Amino acid sequence: MLVYVLLSCISLLTVALNLLVIISISHFRQLHTPTNLLLLSLAVSDLLVGLVLMPVEIIYIEACWTLGDILCTIYYVMDYTITSASVANMVLISIDRYIAICDPLGYSSRVTKSRARCCVCLCWVISVLFRLLLLQDHLAEPGRSNSCLGQCVVVINYIAGILDLVFSFILPITCIILLYTRLFFVALGQARALRSHVAALQRSGAGMVKKTEMKAARTLGIVVVVFLLCFCPYYYPALAGEDTLVDASSASAEIWLAHFNSCLNPLIYAFFYPWFRKSMRLILTLQILKPGSCDINMM
């Protein structure tokens, strides 16, 4: 009973927090920036984890799977698609921060809201197509990995597991780490320049811009580190050269740890982003229902 209560609270908290992020970015016009559009896409994937994936895993912790083999396969397609989309959003966010800090003068022309929308749509479409390709055997023959009635099991063979590991974990994470390493050295160079030109920067206001951009990069860097800690145990079988077995009828700790990342992301925003804390107060006190609330200054 304690496990059921704990996991149910995590699911509800995941839905509530990510819903606050989605409402905040969607409602307040000042938050309609390319970076926040990427955060919105990440929040949507996290919301789906808490709204769809977690409840199914809670229900079937000890119960048999009763929804049939076709829904079992659809469930795994959704599961893997949401995970892939989350990773793709992480990469897009890292690229966005890299351009914002390394090319601040050209950022507004290179990164626009329309381009951000296109990238978000593209990452979701590619995630769906990649997962359909990866699970094509299970789509052609639902329930092929079940050994008895009441199971919902997907076994990804070694080759498919390697492809999943490379394209959903190693390549994206390598890209993210390289970008943030580059950002670290750029930040050091900018810090030295700021110390030697403090007076001039204060008069021009450029110091405040750089500080804001670096704070956003640091926050999103923490999001990436938390993501790594949560997903490394899930990808361990592929790293060890073993088949990856996922059983919805007895969700393991590494799956729940991977999904718990969806609850941690908005908590990180709440701790580091003042605009999110302010928007939470406005939403919870129903201030957003007032006319003109979408034009409130959030910064």
Write the DSSP string, the chain: -HHHHHHHHHHHHHHHHHHHHHHHHHH-GGG-SHHHHHHHHHHHHHHHIIIIIHHHHHHTTTSPP-SHHHHHHHHHHHHHHHHHHHHHHHHHHHHHHHHHHHSTTTHHHHS-HHHHHHHHHHHHHHHHHHHHHHTHHHHHSTTTT--STT--EEEE-HHHHHHHHIIIIIHHHHHHHHHHHHHHHHHHHHHHHHHHTHHHHHHHTHHHHHHHHHHHHHHHHHHHHHHHHHHTTTTHHHHTT--EEEEGGG--HHHHHHHHHHHHHHHHHHHH-HHHHHHHHHHHTTGGGSTTGGG----
CATH number, domain containing residue 182: 1.20.1070.10
Between 44 and 296, whose confidence is greater?
A: 44
Which domain covers residue 48, as residue numbers? 2-295
From residue 15, alpha-carbon distances to 50, 121, 213, 225 in Å are: 5, 22, 28, 22
Tokens for 239? 């790293």
pLDDT in tens, 127-179: 899 888 888 777 777 766 666 666 777 777 677 777 777 887 788 888 888 88
**Digit-coded pLDDT (tens) for 72-94:** 888 888 888 888 888 888 888 88
Query: Using one digit for the tens of pLDDT, what is the confidence trace for 184-224?
Result: 777 667 666 666 665 554 554 444 445 555 565 666 667 77
Count up the domains in the chain and report the number: 1
pLDDT at 228 exceeding the cut of 50: yes
Handedness of CA 158, 161, 166, 169 (dihedral sign): negative
pLDDT of residue 122: 92
Q: Are strands 153-156 and 244-247 parallel, antiparallel or unpaired?
A: antiparallel
User: What span, in angstroms and rounded, lies between the C-alpha atoms of 101 and 97?
Assistant: 6
Burial of 138 (0-12, 13-18, 19+ CB in 10 A): buried
